[in-house]
A and B are shown apart, each in its own frame.
Chain A
Amino acid sequence: EPISNNPQQKHSVSAQEKGLGAGGSVSGNGRPNTAAGCGGGGGGLSGGLTQPAGWQSLLSFTILFLAWLAGFSSRLFAVIRFESIIHEFDPWFNYRSTHHLSTNGFYEFLNWFDERAWYPLGRIVGGTVYPGLMVTAGLIHYLLNLLNVTVHIRDVCVFLAPIFSGLTAISTFLLTRELWNQGAGLLAACFIAIVPGYISRSVAGSFDNEGIAIFALQFTYYLWVKSVKTGSVFWTIGCCLSYFYMVSAWGGYVFIINLIPLHVFVLLLMQRYSRRLYIAYSTFYIVGLVLSMQIPFVGFQPIRTSEHMAAAGVFALLQAYAFLQYLKDRLTKQEFQTLFFLGVSLAAGVVFLTVIYLTYTGETAATMATQHHSLAQHMPSLYFSPLPLINPIKPVILNLDTERLFDPVLSAFAVYFAGVMVRLMLTLTPVVCMLSAIAFSSVFEHYLGDDMKRENPPAEDSSDEDDKRNSGNLYDKAGKVRKHVSEQDRPEEGLGPNIKSIVTMLMLMLLMMFAVHCTWVTSNAYSSPSVVLASYNHDGSRNILDDFREAYYWLRQNTDEHARVMSWWDYGYQIAGMANRTTLVDNNTWNNSHIALVGKAMSSNESAAYEIMKSLDVDYVLIIFGGVIGYSGDDINKFLWMVRIAEGEHPKDIRESDYFTPQGEFRVDKAGSPTLLNCLMYKMSYYRFGEMQLDFRTPPGFDRTRNAEIGNKDIRLKHLEEAFTSEHWLVRIYRVKKQENRQALDHKLRNVAAKQKYTSKKTAKRKRGYVKNKLVLKKGKKLNKKSV
């Protein structure tokens, strides 16, 4: 199929036919024309006066634009209520690296060695990130500045995800249109624009990989379906580029590289091999593989790790299949059978060996998943909210038995992955949106569009012409369920106008409630920033607790530029981003032993901790303490994690059981274990808190988070001193005291002539060598030539 024959054309033609067909039927029956569906009957009677195709594209354009707008604006709650900054913890790193990229250029970014993280190890940022997000934001910033639109990189970062949500809506529209029809596409676009599962990762101010990755995901799917449909290398290359973008943006690209082979595999199983499929997959696999290896972080993973083996296997299978097909044409049946047998046994042997090899070396997805389970998710899981919607409508989908395979494959896979890893629920969201859109679309077609259908029963078949034209296609054209007139008439005869209107109303109600629900969820669950805390008074006025930024900014302004700040890893990115200071550990938790060392320092007593801190060159210690305002996400509540991680690496020094009471409780009051009451974290959290009486009903030193009076009120610090505490005590920063200077000597050091070292003959080989005619360095002016 040629390149120029794009879907729009085809669609407009078929739409025109539809419109005119409706017109014809109207004249035949003399019934009034009812505009049904998406502008189908817009230009019905007069034919040439108005162009239905024009109406249709205008309508879809408007709907898509509005979906974009709705998606964009519903993500702005946090920005409007608070301000245009990066609101979450993790994205601060992304923002910081984007800032680095935009100020120092792309190559500097790729080669960036961040000495401000993981002190003293540092981090090679360019090689350990998916750079897609930063490059996208940097590119937009660069382009805007090229056009003299002086937007700050921060604003680009803040609004990137909402803008990309619009692109996601459009690519979802394209994909659904390819899989089903235009109407379902528009519905899907509207759904994905406001669905909370996706909003959770793409609100303004959350500058996360997922924000752009979902767009790349959907767009890659679209291009893949397109390329399988057309078998054109053009679309496949487009698909590869989109895949490349996806790889550069998010680790979830593994999802694609498994899904597409699965699709191909299922098609092969169903005997739907075609040359188009062969062209599409072979091109995709090779070009996609090469492209994906260009990302430094991915490197050689695509040919090494087991997650990518499915793709390789299917590639080999497809080649074998194609080869057999070729041979089939050339050989007699007998020859072919022998050959086939041989080939199959050979392949089985290879597969067997591969499996054995992989079980020894490969890392399986399951272990990955369990690793991720241990990480706490910041967002409440309201991911499932769009799911109930689809359930009642599922039978409809099942009734409409079609051959569009991609959809079921995609959904099955997504459900599986979402089950394995909660975070991957994100990949399920678009699928759910598409499926429910299809369901709604069919329901509406059924109940709204039947007037037209009855008057003009074969209206559906009008598009069959397309079908015949592209009879070689794997997938049917949109909305061409072949039904006979008589069949179609029968069930609809029973549908009175009342039922129709009731069903329609119900559906509309459902959609409306869905929109309201989505907005509610977005506004309540996903739009409260974690950088700024807000509390509301009785009269509804708002109190902003800006302690995090207060303390971070204090660090930024009033500590040495190269000061090293020790804190638990949760705050690493923020300290690096907002305070611009060197951290020991951060949210990129790549070095467990380093984290364990920090955990050990936090959970040891002060003098032991001081040794660790001295060895790590720590200047400041930052902790989060919520006891004054009742903030539950503070370090004491996370403390057991520190202990556990420290115990994992240093089982001799730290034992989790020491921190529990004999009854096995974790208590901060008098009954708490003495180890806990004297560890550094406890001391730093409650330093001088014992004197503080928060209100008259509670004793001094009453911890509001844990609702207990603290057990150790007389805390003295020897090696640390309080450097800063924020207004609501949320962030406390301690300075590690330098060792006191020794007394200066009042006499000169004795000058001892170094003895000639005696070297025995036995160790003669090890004696220090000397160079004959050794060059003598003359100190003086350096020549212009730069020495290496």
Chain B
Amino acid sequence: MSPTLRFCPCLLLAVSWLLRAAAADGLVNEEVKRTVDLSTHLAKISAEILLANQGGSPVQSFTLALEPELGPHLAYVGASVKGEEEEDESLELKETAVHGRSGTFFQVQLPSALAAGGKLRVKVETVLTHVLRPFPSHITQAERQLVVFQGNHYLYSPYPTRSQSTRVRLASKTVESYTKLGNPSKNDEVIEYGPFKDVAPFSQDTMKIHYENNAPFLTISSITRTIEVSHWGNIAVEETIDLRHTGAYLKGPFSRYDYQRQSDSGISSVKSFKTILPASAQDVYYRDEIGNISTSHLQVLEDSVEVEVRPRFPLFGGWKTHYIIGYNLPSYEYLYTLGDQYALKMRLIDHVYDDQVIDHMTVKVILPEGARNVHLDTPYVIDRSPDQLHYTYLDTFGRPVLVATKNNLVEQHIQDMVVHYTFNKILMLQEPLLVVGAFYILFFTVIIYVRLDFSITKDPAAEVRMKVASITEQVLTLVNKRLGLYRQMDEVVNRYKQSRDTGALNSGRKTLEAEHRTLTNDIAALQARLKAEGSDLAEKVGEIQKLDGQVKELVNQSCQESERLVAGKVKKETYITSEKTLAGKRQELISRIDSLLDAL
């Protein structure tokens, strides 16, 4: 591990120097209570250390150490000071190296200097992943899973320890074997070691426990968490998860019958687990490459949304699965703004299952198009990859994507990150304008296309036809108007018959006749144009004109008749009969005109 190991001659010297250094610190572990929790697939080691400064000067910091064998498995380490009022104050850790010693070391900054002769109670918590090794590594469906834990009986520390006790919590009563240093006591699921007195610094003595552990050995081999921020009020979160059962491999057949009928068959397999989503999560989906996974259930609780994630098939040792879970969040809960400044405060990683282990995580934060001066604040060190661009609905120049990765994460890493960025609010208009513009162009093109003639050949016949058609149309309107005039005339006459007001009749007749004349002239003009176009319709129009003349005559006749009736020159009966014949004739003429019109 450490490069010093390779230089054996230097070792002795270094050790002596180190011991001196430790002595210079003057720190001593007065009393250590270690708890090794092996009840899940993690090893959670917490130690309560009573630090005593026996040196001559105040101490600002102390060093935490981890055995070289366990170093690579370390997922989380945290130290806190046990305050008087039950409130723990977490301390700042910085990874350092100690010359001449292998292992992983952290320098812990104390909140206030520990004066000479002072004592301080510190709580150290470490979580190790993949340290429980299934043994045997392959089991059948009926067998139970046994695992081996290899650790240290003592607290690995650069300081001498006065008194120490270790308590190991196991997953079950069944223990195959365990190291018996100092004659430990075993009580159900708990093994108590110690107390050990006056342990030298960096003492190591292998503690080996072989016991039954059927806790779900689930590991997320990789997770990609994508957070897409929209300024229109939504934050979409999607997690793509590769899940693997890292316990003992399943050997031999998988029998569904046994699995269904015997409760302890496949006891170490994973049927389902719970994922807790934020309370405001909406539109939750749980799917994979081949569609929705229909075996899941969703429960909306007061302070969270619980998804019972059931993979399509139970996960036995060595089996893996892959799924996507996603949901929407309202942005007002996570997005803060002041002018053009925005801050997104969200969990860097969220809960997937209890005691989760994530081997590899990628977080992608997709910010709105136009976000600038992006700055990411993370609660712990995380590797940033180069930013990317993401194009989706209505994007033109792409959305900035922050990409960050980290390996080996556990539940303790569920903490908030903050993304700061600036965004010009005027850019909000870009997308609606884009849509409006697109529709504008579409309609405009249609208008242009419909209005203009794009044919490459000119067809005079068609043009003439269209011209004729338009003239005909005008003729039709005029003729109809003219026919309307006759109706008005009839009305005038009727009124006259009732009121016997010759003046009104004459004036009405005059105006109508004037109108009639203009209409007839117009039609004649149109007829001339038709003739000019060489259309045979002109003749028909001429015919209409002729017929119309007749109609007009008839109308005039009926008018005169009515005058005569009013004047008492004819009897009513004769008037009615003559009116009838006139009307009949008129009807006939009009229908002929109509038929001609329709033929136009």
Q: Determine the residue in chain B with the shortest Cβ distance to A543.
A: B294
Q: Which of B252, B257, B453, B595 has a CB less than 8 Å from the CB of A692? A: B257
Query: Are the C-beta atoms of A28 and B465 separated by less than 8 Å?
Result: no
CB contacts (< 8 Å) of A148 on chain B: these are 391-395
**Segment of B104-112, B167-175, B187-195, B480-488 engaged in the interface with chain A:** B480-488
Q: In chain B between 293 and 352, which residues have their CB closer than 8 angstroms to a CB of chain A?
A: 293-295, 312-313, 318-322
Interface centre among B254, B312, B462, B479 (most CB of A within 10 A): B312
Query: Are the C-beta atoms of A17 and B457 separated by less than 8 Å?
Result: no
Q: In chain B between 276 and 304, which residues have their CB closer than 8 angstroms to a CB of chain A?
A: 288-295
For residue A570, CB closer than 8 A to chain B, the reply is no
Query: Are the C-beta atoms of B590 and A721 separated by less than 8 Å?
Result: no
Contacts A24-B597, A150-B391, A458-B595; is A688 near B255 (CB within 8 Å)? yes
For residue A566, CB closer than 8 A to chain B, the reply is no
Q: Determine the residue in chain B with the shortest Cβ distance to A151.
A: B393
For residue A658, CB closer than 8 A to chain B, the reply is no
CB contacts (< 8 Å) of B453 on chain A: these are 4
Query: Are the C-beta atoms of A459 and B252 separated by less than 8 Å?
Result: no
Bound-state CA distance A461–B595 (Å) is 9
For residue B412, CB closer than 8 A to chain A, the reply is no
For residue A550, CB closer than 8 A to chain B, the reply is yes
Q: Determine the residue in chain B with the shortest Cβ distance to A727.
A: B256
Least CB distance, B96 to chain A, in whole angstroms: 43
Interface centre among A30, A485, A721, A722 (most CB of B within 10 A): A722
Bound-state CA distance A149–B256 (Å) is 44
Query: Are the C-beta atoms of A3 and B483 separated by less than 8 Å?
Result: no
Least CB distance, B69 to chain A, in whole angstroms: 32
Query: Are the C-beta atoms of B313 and A554 separated by less than 8 Å?
Result: yes
CB contacts (< 8 Å) of B321 on chain A: these are 553, 557
For residue B594, CB closer than 8 A to chain A, the reply is yes
Query: Are the C-beta atoms of B294 and A544 separated by less than 8 Å?
Result: yes
19 contacts between A and B (CB under 8 A): A4-B455, A16-B473, A17-B476, A21-B594, A24-B476, A24-B479, A27-B483, A27-B484, A28-B591, A30-B487, A48-B477, A83-B292, A148-B393, A464-B599, A546-B312, A551-B313, A692-B257, A723-B254, A729-B256
Query: Are the C-beta atoms of A2 and B598 separated by less than 8 Å?
Result: no
For residue A704, CB closer than 8 A to chain B, the reply is no
For residue B459, CB closer than 8 A to chain A, the reply is yes
A residues with a Cβ closer than 8 A to B are 2-5, 13, 16-17, 20-21, 23-25, 27-28, 30, 47-48, 82-85, 148-150, 456-459, 461-462, 464-465, 469, 485, 532, 544, 546, 549-554, 556-558, 577-578, 688-689, 691-692, 721-727, 729, 735
Interface centre among B454, B469, B480, B591 (most CB of A within 10 A): B480
CB contacts (< 8 Å) of B393 on chain A: these are 148-150
Q: In chain B between 428 and 473, which residues have their CB closer than 8 angstroms to a CB of chain A?
A: 453-457, 459, 462, 465, 469, 472-473
Given contacts A691-B257, A735-B253, 7 further A-B contacts (CB under 8 A): A84-B291, A148-B391, A148-B394, A458-B599, A546-B294, A553-B288, A724-B313
CB contacts (< 8 Å) of B392 on chain A: these are 148-150
Top 10 A-B pairs ranked by shortest CB distance? A4-B455, A725-B256, A85-B291, A2-B459, A721-B253, A722-B253, A550-B312, A83-B292, A544-B294, A458-B598
Query: Are the C-beta atoms of B291 and A549 separated by less than 8 Å?
Result: yes
Q: Which of A4, A149, A551, A729 has a CB less than 8 Å from the CB of B459? A: A4
Bound-state CA distance A30–B590 (Å) is 12
Least CB distance, B392 to chain A, in whole angstroms: 5
Least CB distance, B316 to chain A, in whole angstroms: 9
Least CB distance, A320 to chain B, in whole angstroms: 32
Least CB distance, A535 to chain B, in whole angstroms: 13
Q: Determine the residue in chain B with the shortest Cβ distance to A23.
A: B480
CB contacts (< 8 Å) of B593 on chain A: these are 28
Query: Are the C-beta atoms of A28 and B590 separated by less than 8 Å?
Result: yes
Query: Are the C-beta atoms of A722 and B597 separated by less than 8 Å?
Result: no
Binary CB contact string for chain B from 571 to 600 against chain A (1 if under 8 A, 0 otherwise): 000000000000000000011011101111
Least CB distance, A96 to chain B, in whole angstroms: 11
Bound-state CA distance A725–B314 (Å) is 11
Contacts A21-B598, A148-B393, A544-B294; is A725 near B254 (CB within 8 Å)? yes
Q: In chain B between 22 and 48, which residues have their CB closer than 8 angstroms to a CB of chain A?
A: none
Query: Are the C-beta atoms of B473 and A20 separated by less than 8 Å?
Result: yes
CB contacts (< 8 Å) of A721 on chain B: these are 252-253
Bound-state CA distance A721–B250 (Å) is 13
